[in-house]
A and B are shown apart, each in its own frame.
Chain A
Amino acid sequence: MNIVVAIKHIPSIADDLPVKGNNVDFDSVDFVLNEFDEQSIEQAVLVKEAVGGTVTVVGVDVIGELDNVLHLALAKGADKAVKITGDDPAADSHQQAKWLAEAIKGLSPNIVFAGVQASNDLDGQIGPMIAAYLDMPYIGGVSSVEVSDHTATVNKEFAGGFGAKYSVSLPMVVGVQAASKPPRYAPISKVRQVAQMATIEKVAPSGGVSSGLSFKKMAPPVVTGHAEMIGGSSKEVAAKIVELLKSKGLA
C-alpha cells in the first residue's frame, strides 16, 4: 500500500500576525505544521500499521525550514519524506496543491491523506484540489479510516455528532479532521536520531497554476481581545445566542 500524506507548512497563529503590504509579513512569523496535518500523519501511520505499506510525507518547503517537520513525521512512523523546493511563503493552496499533485503522481499512491483544512486556506484546501488534479474522489471531515484490499471505509463528521460512513474504491484523497487515535508522541531523542540518519528527497516544483485572487488588504479584525458583545434585553440576548448556535450547527 502506497500511502501519501500531503502537508502544509503554515504561519503559526499562536502569536499575533504582523502585516506587510497586503499580506502577512512572512519574515516575522514562525511557521508550523498545519495542526490537521498532525492528525493526517497519524491516520496514515495507523493505516500502515493495520495493512502494511509505506508512508511518504510530501510538503512544499515554503521557507526552507520544512526539514524539522519532516523529521518529526519520520520519527512518528513515516517511511519517506519529500520536500518540494517551492521556497515561496506566499504560495497559495492552488499552487501548492498543483506542485504536490505533480510530485504525488509519480508515487502511484493508493491513498492520499491531507489535513481537512489549514488556517491559511484562503483559496480553499489542498486536499480536494489534489483530488481534482489527480482525478481521484475526495472526502473531507474524516475521523476514521479503514482500508481493506482496494477499498477505504471512512467516517465523515457533519455538525453536532452526525456523520456518515462511506466506502470508496481506491485510490482516493482523504481530508482528515481527526485520526482514529490521538497523534502519538515522538520522543526528541528519536527525532534527533532521525534528523541525523534520514535523507529527505528534494523535488523541484513542477506545474504552475494561479488562484486568481488579488489581495486588496490583510488586517487583523477590528475587535480583538474582547468578546463581540450581544446587546439587548435578556430575551434578545437569548434569541441571538440561539441563532448563533444554530448557525454553527451547535443547536
Chain B
Amino acid sequence: MAPKFEKAKAIEKEHVVVDGIDVSGHWNRMFEQRVITEYTPELIEKIADLPNAESFANCYQCAKCVAVCPVDVVGNYGPRKLYRYAQTGMDLTEAPELWLCTTCANCLRVCPKEVNMVKIMPAVREQAILEGKFVPAELQQAFENTAKSGNPLGQPQRKRDAWIQNAGVPIPIIKDLGRPVDVLWYVGSYPSYHPRGIDAASAAARIFTALGIDFAILGKEEKDDADSQRLAGEKGLFEMMTEYNIETFNKYEWKELVVTGPHELNAFKNVYPKYGFERPVVHYTTFLARYLDQLKPLLKHPVNKKITYHDPCYLGRHNGEYEAPRKLLEAIPGVELVEMGRNRENGYCCGGGGGGMWMDSFTAKHTTMRLSEKRAMEAASTGANVLAVACPFEVSRFEDAVKSTGNEHVGVLDILELLDKSMRGE
C-alpha cells in the first residue's frame, strides 16, 4: 500500500481570534491540534486487529524500545520503527521485518505502553503463514523437520537417545525403568543431536549421576517443545507437539521436570498450563543451584579461566533466573567471573530466539552483523577467555561468532561443561 502523504501545514500567524477570543501568541505557536493526515492508520489497525497483537496500536513513539532492541544495534529496527513503518505504508505481514524480531523481550521491559512484541510477532507471523505470504525457506524447513521428525534438525526420532551410549554413565530411560523417579530430565533436541549439545548433555548426565539424583529421560519418546516454532508463527505445530508432549509426560510418574534449555522451560512452565499441564518445571541451573553444598566438594579441579556469562533471554528476562547460573560458575574453583556491559535484565540477545535459530541466512541479508557476533565481541572485550552459556542454542551460535569476529581465543562452553571439567579435570 502506498503511503498517503499530505504534510501538515504549519499555522503561522501573528494574530489569531478563535470564537471571539484573541489567542495571539508567538508567531510559531501551534494553534490547532495537529491534523494527522500524512499517515495511514489502516496498516496499524490490520496488525492490532489480530488476536494477541492488539498492543501494537498502543505505541506512542517514545523510542525507549529502540534503545534496547538488539536487532537495532546491527540494523534498523525496533517496535517503534515497525509502528512508524506501518504508519507510512509497510504491511508487516509481507515485510522482511516480520522475521527479524527474536522475541527477546527487552523492549517490553522498558515499554511504558506495554507494547508486547512477544505476543505480537507470533500472531502476525501466524497470519502471514496462514495467508501463504513469504516465509523464510530455512524456517519452513525447520517447521517441516519438526512436524516430520519431531525435531527442527530433521534427525531421525529413533536416534534421539543415541548420544547416551558415549556419555560415560548409565542413563536410564523412564519407560525401561518401570518405576517412578524424582527427576524427569527433558534433554531437548539440540542436546540430543547437535555434537556440541551432546557434550553438554553428557556433562549433565555425569553431574546428575555424581550428585546421586534419581533421574531418567524419555529417550525415543522425547520430542521437541516447539516453543520457538510457536514464536516463529507456527502455532498449529506447537499445539500438535504440545498435545503429544503432555500426554507423554503424564504417562510416567515423576516429581519434577528438569530441562536443559530455557526455551523448553518457557514452553513447559509458561505456556503448557494453558493446555492443562501444570507440574513443576525447572531449568538445570536453578535445579543444580539447590545442590550447591553437595556440588562444591565434587568440583575438585580448578578451572583457571576468566569467564563471562551470557544471560539467555528465555532464562533471564522471560523467567527471571539470573543468579543460579552465576552461583554455579562462582562455585568452580579458579574461576574469575566478569560481567559484560549488557547483563541480567539488559542482557543482549544471541539472535537464536523466536525462530532466529533457523533464519541465519535470511537475517544476514537484513543486518550488518549477526547478533551472536555482536555479543561475542562484547564478551571478548571483557578480557574473558571463556564465554559461558546456559542455552543449547548458544554454543553453536557463539562458537561460530567468536571465530568470525577473530576472537577464537574465547572458548564457548555450557555451564554444564565447565562444572563437568572441574569435577573430572581435563
Chain A interface residues toward B at CB < 8 A:
12, 14-15, 30, 32, 182, 184-185, 187-192
Contact = CB atoms under 8 A, between A and B. Distances in A.
A143 B405 CA distance: 41
A32 B240 contact: no
B156 A14 contact: yes
B147 interface: yes
Interface in B134-180: 135, 137, 140, 143-144, 147-149, 154-159
A14 B154 contact: yes
Contacts of B149: 14
B158 A15 contact: yes
Contacts of A32: 148
Contacts of B240: 188, 192
A190 B156 contact: no
A54 B126 CA distance: 27
A182 B137 contact: yes
B235 interface: yes
Contacts of A189: 130, 235-236, 239
Contact of A188 (B132, B147, B157, B159): B147
B236 A190 contact: yes
Given A14-B149, A32-B148, A190-B236, A185 B135 contact: yes
A187 B154 contact: no
B372 to A, nearest CB: 26
Most chain B Cβ neighbours within 10 Å, of A185, A190, A191, A192: A185
16 contacts: A14-B155, A182-B137, A184-B132, A185-B132, A185-B144, A187-B126, A187-B129, A187-B130, A187-B234, A188-B143, A188-B234, A188-B236, A188-B237, A188-B239, A189-B130, A189-B235
B242 to A, nearest CB: 11
Interface in B354-401: none
Interface residues of B, number: 24
Contacts of A188: 143, 147, 234, 236-237, 239-240
A190 B239 CA distance: 12
A192 B240 CA distance: 9
Nearest to B233: A187
Contacts of B130: 187, 189-190
Which of A15, A30, A185, A188 has the most C-beta atoms of chain B within 10 angstroms of its own C-beta? A188
Given A14-B156, A187-B236, 20 more contacts: A14-B154, A14-B155, A15-B156, A30-B156, A30-B157, A32-B148, A182-B137, A185-B129, A185-B140, A185-B143, A185-B144, A188-B143, A188-B234, A188-B236, A189-B236, A189-B239, A190-B130, A190-B236, A191-B147, A192-B240
SS class of chain A's interface: helix, strand, loop or mixed?
loop
Nearest to B238: A188
Contacts of B129: 185, 187
Interface of B: 126, 129-130, 132, 135, 137, 140, 143-144, 147-149, 154-159, 234-237, 239-240
Contacts of A185: 129, 132, 135, 140, 143-144
Contacts of B156: 12, 14-15, 30
Contact of A191 (B132, B155, B158, B236): B236
Scoring A15, A187, A190 by chain B CB atoms within 10 A of each residue's CB, the highest score goes to A187
B359 to A, nearest CB: 14
List the 8 closest A-B pairs by CB distance, nearest first.
A189-B236, A188-B236, A15-B156, A188-B237, A185-B140, A187-B129, A187-B236, A188-B240
A34 to B, nearest CB: 14
A182 B135 CA distance: 11
A151 to B, nearest CB: 29
B237 to A, nearest CB: 4
Contacts of B239: 188-189
Contact of A192 (B148, B155, B157, B236): B236
A187 B122 CA distance: 13
A182 B141 CA distance: 12
B159 to A, nearest CB: 7
Nearest to B241: A188
A167 B174 CA distance: 61
Nearest to B141: A185
B405 to A, nearest CB: 31
A15 B236 contact: no
A187 B140 CA distance: 10
Contacts of B137: 182
A188 B137 CA distance: 16
Contacts of B140: 185
Contacts of A30: 156-157
B316 to A, nearest CB: 30
A26 to B, nearest CB: 15
A32 B145 CA distance: 12
Contacts of B234: 187-188
B163 to A, nearest CB: 15
Contacts of A191: 147, 236
B144 to A, nearest CB: 8
Nearest to B226: A188
A67 to B, nearest CB: 14
Nearest to B131: A187
Nearest to B236: A189
A188 B236 CA distance: 5
Contacts of A190: 130, 236
Contacts of A192: 236, 240
A14 B149 CA distance: 10
A23 B154 CA distance: 25
A189 B159 CA distance: 27
A61 B235 CA distance: 29
Contacts of A14: 149, 154-156
A14 B126 CA distance: 29
